[in-house]
Amino acid sequence: MRRQGGAEKPRRSLADLSLIIVAAIWGATFPLVQDAVAGTSVLSFLVLRFVAATLVLLPLAIRRGGLRFVADPLGVLPGLFLAAGYWFQTEGLRTVSPSVSAFITGTYAVLVPLLGGMLGWERTGARRWASAGLALAGIYLLQGKLPNRWAMAETWTALCAVCFALQILLTGRAAKRHPDTLSLGATQIVVATVCFVAIAALRGELPHLGSLRGQTWFAALFTGVLATSLAFLVQAWAQGLVPSTHVAICFANEPLFAAMISIAFFGDRLSRGGWIGAVAVIAATLLVTLEPSGGADREFHASSGPG
C-alpha cells in the first residue's frame, strides 16, 4: 500500500501542475477573446471555437475507436453542463461587467466542495474548504468589486458557476470509471459544439465566415485547439487522479494569470488589494496541491467509485 501511494504521488503532482497550466492558457486567451468578440458576436465566436476544437478531436477519436468515441454516455451530461455554463456566462456578459462576471463565475471554487458534499460524491475536509474560501477571496481582491445590484445578468452568471461546478464534479466521477480520457473529453466537446451551433442557428448568430477578421480566426483556432481541445482532455485525465476540489482551486488561477499577462504585456497595474488577492490564490493552490496523501484521499476514492 505504501509503495502504491508513493508511486501515485508524482502522478497526482503532475495532474495538479497540468491543471494549473490549463488555467494559465485560459488566462492568456483573455486579450485574444476580447479582441475577437469586438468583430463578431460572442455566440458566433463560441461556435468557431468549439467547431475548431471538434475538428481537432474528431479525427483522433475516430482513429482510436470509431464514432463511438465521441458518443460516450459518460461524457454527455458533463458536456451539456459545459455548454450551459458558457451559454449562461455569455448571456450575463451582455450587460454585466467583466470583473463582476469573473468574480461570480469564480464562486465555483466553493460550489464544487459544497455540491460534492451535498450529492455525497466527495468528502471535503477543512483544508479543502479553507482553500476554496481563500481562492474566492483572492478572486474578489483581484477583480476589485462585487455586483452593486442584482439583475437577470447576475442570475445568468450565477447559473454559469453552478454549471461549471457540476461539469467538474461529473467529469471527476466519470473519469474514475473511464479507461480512455480521449473519449470522455471528445464527447463533451462534441456535445457542447452541437448545442452552440443549434442555439446560434435559432438566434440567427451563425458566423459569416467571409466577413471575419484575421484576428478572429487566429483567436478561434488558438482557443479551440489549446484552450478547449487540450484543456478538457487534460481535465478528463487529471480528474482520474485528483479530487474535484483540486481542479476547482487550480482553475481559480485563471484570473491571476490573466492579470499577470495584462501587467507584463499590456501595461496594466494591480492595486495593493489585487496583489494580496494574487497571493491568496497562490496560497489556496498550494494548500491543495501540497495536500499530503492519506485519509482524505482514501475517503474521496471510496465515495467516487463505480455505483
pLDDT at site 169: 92
Over pLDDT 90: what percentage of the chain? 22
pLDDT for the residue 233:
87
pLDDT band of 118, cuts 50, 70, 90: confident
Are 63 and 239 in contact, with CB atoms under 8 Å apart? no
Mean pLDDT lowest among 53-62, 181-190, 253-262:
253-262
Is the pLDDT at 292 greater than 70? The verdict is no
Domain ranges of the chain: 20-303
Task: Considering only the C-alpha atoms of the chain, give the largest distance between any 2 of them, rounded to a whole number of Å.
Answer: 60
Q: Which helix (H) or strand (E) holds 26?
A: helix 2-28
69 or 254, greater pLDDT: 254
Residue pair 248/109 in contact by the 8 Å Cβ criterion? yes
To which H or E segment does residue 113 belong? Answer: helix 108-118
Residue of higher predicted confidence among 35 and 169: 169
Q: What is the mean pLDDT of the chain?
A: 81
pTM over 0.75: yes
Instruction: State pLDDT tens for residues 96-116.
Output: 776 677 778 888 888 888 888
The answer, yes or no, to whether residue 2 has pLDDT greater than 60, is: no
Q: Are 134 and 283 in contact (CB under 8 A)?
A: yes
* Residue 19 confidence (pLDDT): 92
Distance between CA 194 and CA 191 in Å, rounded?
5
pLDDT tens column, 26-82: 888 877 777 777 778 888 999 999 999 999 888 887 787 666 667 778 889 999 999
